[in-house]
Structure 1
Amino acid sequence: MTAGQARVVLATRNAGKVVELRDILAPVLAEVDRELVGVTEFAGVADVVESGVTFVENATLKAVAVARATGLPALADDSGLAVDVLGGAPGVFSARWAGRHGDDRANLDLLLAQVADVPDEHRGAAFVCAAVLALPDGRTAAREGRFPGSLTREPRGSNGFGYDPILLVDGDTRTAAELSPGEKNAVSHRGRAFRALADDVRALLGP
């Protein structure tokens, strides 16, 4: 970060996500001369209740709240797994599908049990991510990215998290959890959503 360089706040306390998004957004952040920092850099910013019923609503709630609290542009995302035969569920409830927030194995086991009788040709699914930029003056921009695939019958791979071990990547023989971090960033729902948001970042934060 150069002296006097302006900041953009990523509405997360996950240091790994900050590093990931710095990498994904590096070209556009350089163009607008901004440094991406996590919300942990700011004392007293409260966690935001994700009460929306869509990914865009939840991401917008987080980005708007952090922009207001810090007085700086803020980025946020919300994501989850959408299964075709479940009408897009677990969706925004992905992290707590089994009833306990963040219990990845319980979520996986429940989902696989729910679709156990579904034939392979109907096991389509996709990771979906909504990425939002919010400015302190209330302006917002939102974009969505999808990472399509189909559900395996058993978890495979150890590189990912969440539902990564059961999403077989379209056009590949591997699950998302069998991809390297670089491979996943290149095609992931989060990578696609934030790269789609790059034009909005240029338009709203550029000179």
Structure 2
Amino acid sequence: MTAHAFTFAETALSALASGALHWPERRLLCVSDLHLGKSERLARRGGTLLPPYETRETLARLDAAIEATRSETVICLGDSFDDLAAADAMPDAERLWLARLMAGRDWVWIEGNHDAGPIDIGGTHRAELALGPLTFRHIAQAGAKGEVSGHYHPKLRLAGQSRPCFLLDADRLILPAFGAYTGGMRHDDPALSGLMGPKALAILTGPRAIPCPLPR
């Protein structure tokens, strides 16, 4: 698994090519915006019909990341389910797969705007979580320091191809969406450019994690 190692808030971290964040010292894996059950939610609400395979694909990628990093703690940074009804509608086989991934691990669900509130699936449920110098929450807050968040699904276009990416500056780290059926927001959208400092870095996901200065 190709990754980019960096230091943020005096903490050694690694951006994985899959879009997950690894904190080796704590054997911790963090992912954001899984949006499990998106195809079910769209069908239920009369939206675009998508092949109902995204939950399996997302769980397979998450399984591989956990196995590769041997993580003992997993933090899901909000919007883990496309809505609470999607969590209830998860097929038994996929629910068992998720239960197997959670077994024996410290698993934290951070509340998101799609799945605010507890779900009956185990783990710990938090609005945000502070660990050492880092604070994990779903949506970035102005003036935050050492903040790790998600929500925006950032993407960057490089060589004619748009790729999900991490956004990093001195104060905050924004993760890409990990879910299979998630769209994205351009890095230069005002909602993102207004958050990131002048020396911000993008770390592109894909076959390799590739760092590059954030274009302005």
Larger Cα-atom Rg: 1
Q: TM-score, normalised by structure 1?
A: 0.25
Q: Flag the structure with higher strand content.
A: 2
Q: TM-score, normalised by structure 2?
A: 0.25
Structure with larger RCO (C-alpha < 8 A, sep 6+): 2
Q: Flag the structure with higher helix content.
A: 1
